[in-house]
Amino acid sequence: MGFFGKKGSSGFSSSSTAEEVTEGIDGNGLTAIVTGASSGIGTETARVLALRGVHVVMAVRNVDSGNKVREEILKEIPSAKVEVMELDLSSMSSVREFAFKYNSSGFPLNILINNAGIMASPYMLSKDNIELQFATNYLSHFLLTNLLLDNMKNTARESNREGRIVNLSSSAHRHPFPGGIRFDSINDEAGYGSIKAYGQSKLATLLHANELARRFKAANSLHPGGIHTNLFRYHTILSGFASTVGRFMFKTVPQGAATTCYVALNPQVNGVSGKYFEDCNISKSSAYGQDADLAKKLWEFSLPLTSP
């Protein structure tokens, strides 16, 4: 992947790493939440933010795994400020509990990185009986963001520094179900396709950022690039391809975390909101991804699904 990286207007490319796009940036005084920080690009995102002085809260389903990552970060960066808190995105009660504990902790919140996700799983329902990919990748992050938004607004006001919400979408948002979102049949097994359901969830993630930008003025979405991580666990053929031929086409984890860290921390993104990034540069999403009416409809559709 890196051999084909052409620099964009930002000065970075597909071959840039998370360390490179944050080089020289002082993150001291900032606090960030990274969901899904116990593996893959979430781990690298947490590590690089901590390297730049950001106080990082790792929101993870498996606390033991999270603590192991925390220990590794502290071993490399003894001065790092890293916390581990439990968050299971397949359960809205877990999301509410996490948000309550976080808001009660006294921690400020400058950066929220909605990173965690699953990819192309067989048909399953979440603990709240909602199609699992839609629930995990999008709906629980929608709820989490809403529950933390007042904290972010207060932090921005008190610190006089803009907050940033970073939603990890995917180029897969270009390939959802017909119409983009199956509003009338989100939970229907009939017609379910694991790849299209993944595309739907990532389109929803992108639209969420767009609507947040309209309401809050500090949210962006991104495609991290193709990376061989445990997201492929449900597809052995794809995993095998990524491990062999694909390793010449896929990004490394440090390259995969670059766009996230760029959008979260780089001063070039100051004042930029409602944009879709790829390879550390502003890119163009699909027609569905630019549909403001679809974004508003999704927001209204999601509110009752996440109400107590």
The residue from 192, 234, 262, 288 that is catalytic is 192
- Residue 263 tokens, joined: 């959008």
Q: How far apart are CA 169 and CA 287, in angstroms?
A: 15
Nearest 10 degrees: Cα torsion 126, 129, 134, 138: -80
Q: What are phi and psi of 26, to 5 degrees?
A: -95, 110
One-letter identity of residue 253: V
Distance CA 32, CA 34 (A): 6
Euclidean distance between CA atoms 67 and 74, whole angstroms: 10
**Distance from C-alpha of 129 to C-alpha of 111, rounded to nearest angstrom:** 30
232 and 239 in contact (C-beta within 8 Å)? yes
Active site residue 192: yes
Q: What is the number of H-type helices and E-type strands within the chain?
A: 11, 8
How far apart CA 5 and CA 16 sit, in angstroms, is: 8
- Known catalytic residues are 192
